[in-house]
C-alpha cells in the first residue's frame, strides 16, 4: 500500500496518486498522497485503496482537489 506503511515517506508526491488514499480520523477528510496539507499524526490516519472506499467509510474529499469517480 504505502512504502513501509508510512504516509510521511510519500506525502506531497504525485507519483503515489492512485496507489492509495488516506483519511484523517479527526477531521473526516480523505486525501491523495500528493496533497500538500499538513501531515497528520500516524495514529489518526486510515488507508484506503480507492476514493470510493474512503467515501463509504464516511470521509469526504479534501477541498484542495476533486476526485474523478
Note whether 57 and 23 are within 8 A (CB): yes
Note whether 12 and 34 are within 8 A (CB): yes
Give yes or no: 62 in active site: no
User: Cα–Cα distance between 69 and 52 in angstroms, integer?
Assistant: 8
User: Cα–Cα distance between 40 and 24 in angstroms, integer?
Assistant: 7
Q: Which of 31, 35, 46, 62 is catalytic?
A: 31
Residues catalogued as catalytic:
31
Amino acid at each position: 500500500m504505502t512504502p513501509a506503511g508510512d504516509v510521511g515517506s510519500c506525502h506531497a508526491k504525485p507519483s503515489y496518486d492512485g496507489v492509495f488514499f488516506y483519511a484523517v480520523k479527526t477531521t473526516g477528510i480523505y486525501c491523495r498522497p500528493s496533497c500538500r496539507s499538513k501531515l497528520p499524526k500516524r495514529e489518526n490516519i486510515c488507508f484506503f485503496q480507492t476514493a470510493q472506499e474512503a467515501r463509504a467509510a464516511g470521509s469526504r474529499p479534501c477541498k484542495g482537489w476533486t476526485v474523478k469517480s
